[in-house]
Amino acid sequence: MTANNARKVLIIGGVAGGMSAATRLRRLDENAEITILERGEHVSFANCGLPYYAGGVIEERDALLLQTPKSLKSRFNLDVLVQHDAVKIDRERKEVTANTPEGEKTFEYDQLILAPGAKPFVPPMPGAERGLTLRNVADVDAIMAQVQTKPKTAALLGAGFIGLELAENLHKRGIEVTLVEAAPQILAPLDDEMAAMVENHLIDQGIKVVTNDQATEITEDAVVLKSGKQVPAEMVIIAVGVRPDTNIAKDAGLETDQRGGIVVDESQRTSDPDIFAVGDAVVKRDRIDGAPVHIPLANSANRDGRAVADIIVGLAPSNGDGQVRKTAGVLGTAVVGVLGLTVAATGWNERKAKANGREVATIHTHPFNHATYYPGAEKLALKLVYDPKTLEILGAQAVGGAGADKRIDVIATAIAGGLLATDLAGIDLAYAPQFGSAKDPITMLGFVADNLASGVTSSVDIHDLAQKQADGHLVLDVRTVGEFERGNIPQAVNVPLDDLRDRIDEVRELANGKEIVVHCAVGVRGHTAVQILKAHDLAATNLDGGYTSWSAWQRKQERDAQQA
């Protein structure tokens, strides 16, 4: 059927990036011979849906199977070969060898696209073979088989996004879940004080969380931790991270980094000009600084897969930017829902920014997702990370109710557009009382950034509060007496904001010549109080995020102290 001079494109891996390349290529070149070698039994399955099938939210296994080799043949004239495990690339002969149900076979190519993905990392330990992982449909089948035996307990090793999604879904099935995380906090994309809010929520919802500890052995019915603790676990799932599944690329002499990621240029070309690579198997480029990063996310896999097809057929960039298409860097924007809480992040967190030697300013707010006079408003906690000199936005995090994803998407777009932190105040966002606020949480972040950049106010980080107190600074709580009585920062003095002007002399005496640390519940009243104090010649600064940030983080600190 195909012309003799048709290009032969071979693709290894038939899920996100590989399949995006294949279907795009067909739309651009009806005559190409496109063959996909997929090791597993399924292509184009809904890998991000796997945890929800495990939890019964997605009821039908078939819902996970988005395409079949047959449907891809009839619509896109693709030759999709499942259970074809590509094991060797002969770059000289431009051939790939695969193990197939019918034995070893060899496939020629003009261009080869590698989209082998990443595989779950399983730390070596006794009993590790009892640990399940979650990468594909076969894995979720194995998890479902264990769920059918009605286990009472499960240990989830690794508290990243997939770990949390599985925790939620097993918890919904009535299983007692313990999350075990080697780092001092869950959810590495977040900073510790934001992760603390999520951890508090998980605990309140009945999930056990162990941090700063790790599995050393899996026994018949438990996981033994480094600390000596035993976590009861009829079921064990290991989700501590993934590694590029790239032995075939390394064996072929393609350049890879120390984690095994395939190194590609801005056109997704490997060190062999006829071999491209996309998806979780490749080293991506950080959008903030262009540095190489490993960020295994579906959206860039799809986008880059599409781009490879464009590049193979020689499609020029549509925006007039040069002759050769280039792929964009990645911000690592991600979102997870866990037991009613939405957690989302984009770009760099404060930890990463500091590790990269960047000067960092942060803003913590706790707005409602829409006007509070309209029923059903939910709280959000937002953190903005930016450069205080250039005002460049580096990243943001959100933890809370509905609309957390929206605010992170807006900030990810602002970063893509090069908007400054203060520019956030000037974006025209859609407002109606059930969708937002006339001063949207995004607008407010911009206002606070403006206040800090203008020198109108300053703030102190909750992490630095104890030292401030040790240095003799007064902590002034300007919330109401009722709020203060329901919980407060040790040694804080309560002068409600509306009484502050009348009690300035009392505050002046307590301050004893030192800068006052002011706080309220979230920072808004604190800001007004700081301005009043400064107008009365009292140095003052506002506790960033207020009592809400402090108390969430404090609760985590106390848990850690007990655990130690």
Taking each helix axis from N to C end, the angle separating 524-535 and 504-511, rounded to the nearest 10 degrees, works out to 90
Does 67 engage in binding with a second copy (CB under 8 A)? no
Q: At its nearest, how many Å lie between a second copy and the CB of residue 361?
A: 12
Distance CA 160, CA 111 (A): 36
Name which of residues 103 to 162 contact a second copy (CB under 8 A): 161
Does 205 engage in binding with a second copy (CB under 8 A)? no
List, in sequence order, every residue forming a beta bridge with 396; answer none if it has no partner.
Answer: 346, 384
User: Torsions phi, psi of 3, nearest 5?
Assistant: -65, 155
Dihedral sign of CA atoms 302, 303, 308, 309 in order: positive
Name which of residues 479 to 508 contact a second copy (CB under 8 A): 497-498, 501
Does 527 engage in binding with a second copy (CB under 8 A)? yes
Binding piece for a second copy, criterion CB under 8 A, among 59-67, 143-151, 218-226, 264-272: 59-67
Among 57, 138, 355, 481, binds a second copy (CB under 8 A): 57
The answer to whether 478 and 503 have CB atoms below 8 angstroms apart is no
Does 324 engage in binding with a second copy (CB under 8 A)? no
Q: How many residues bind a second copy (CB under 8 A)?
A: 99
Residue 429's Cα: distance from chain center in Å?
A: 24
The answer to whether 338 and 203 have CB atoms below 8 angstroms apart is no
Strands (E), 281-412: 284-285, 292-293, 334-338, 341-347, 361-365, 380-386, 393-400
Binding piece for a second copy, criterion CB under 8 A, among 89-97, 151-159, 300-308, 552-560: 300-308
Q: Is 413 helix (H, G, I), strand (E, B) or coil?
A: helix
Q: Rounded to 5, what percent of the chain is helix, strand, coil? A: 35, 25, 40
Nearer to a second copy, 93 or 501 (CB): 501
Q: On the CB side of 515, how many CA atoms lie within 13 Å of its CA?
A: 15
Which alpha helices (H) appear in 422-542, and where do they start and end? 441-454, 465-470, 481-485, 504-511, 524-535
Residue in 284, 524, 556, 276 with CA at minimum distance from that of residue 399: 556
Among 528, 555, 559, 560, binds a second copy (CB under 8 A): 528
Name which of residues 431 to 470 contact a second copy (CB under 8 A): 431-436, 438-440, 443, 447, 449-450, 453-454, 456
CA 144, 146, 152, 156: dihedral to nearest 10 degrees?
-80
Q: At its nearest, how many Å lie between a second copy and the CB of residue 533?
A: 9
Does 477 engage in binding with a second copy (CB under 8 A)? no
Name which of residues 27 to 56 contact a second copy (CB under 8 A): 27-31, 46, 48-49, 52
Which residues, 6+ apart, have CB-to-CB distance to 191 below 8 Å?
Answer: 349, 350, 351, 383, 397
Does 535 engage in binding with a second copy (CB under 8 A)? yes
Q: At its nearest, how many Å lie between a second copy and the CB of residue 302?
A: 5
Which residues, 6+ apart, have CB-to-CB distance to 313 below 8 Å?
Answer: 25, 28, 29
Does 289 engage in binding with a second copy (CB under 8 A)? no
Q: At its nearest, how many Å lie between a second copy and the CB of residue 200?
A: 21
Nearer to a second copy, 192 or 450 (CB): 450
Binding piece for a second copy, criterion CB under 8 A, among 82-90, 214-222, 417-425, 552-560: 417-425
Does 332 engage in binding with a second copy (CB under 8 A)? yes
Name which of residues 371 to 390 contact a second copy (CB under 8 A): 371, 373-375
Residue in 418, 244, 271, 389 with CA at minimum distance from that of residue 331: 418
Nearer to a second copy, 252 or 336 (CB): 336
Binding piece for a second copy, criterion CB under 8 A, among 61-69, 83-91, 119-127, 460-468: 61-69
Q: At its nearest, how many Å lie between a second copy and the CB of residue 480?
A: 12
Residue in 334, 299, 300, 331 with CA at minimum distance from that of residue 404: 334
Nearer to a second copy, 97 or 205 (CB): 205
Nearer to a second copy, 248 or 377 (CB): 377
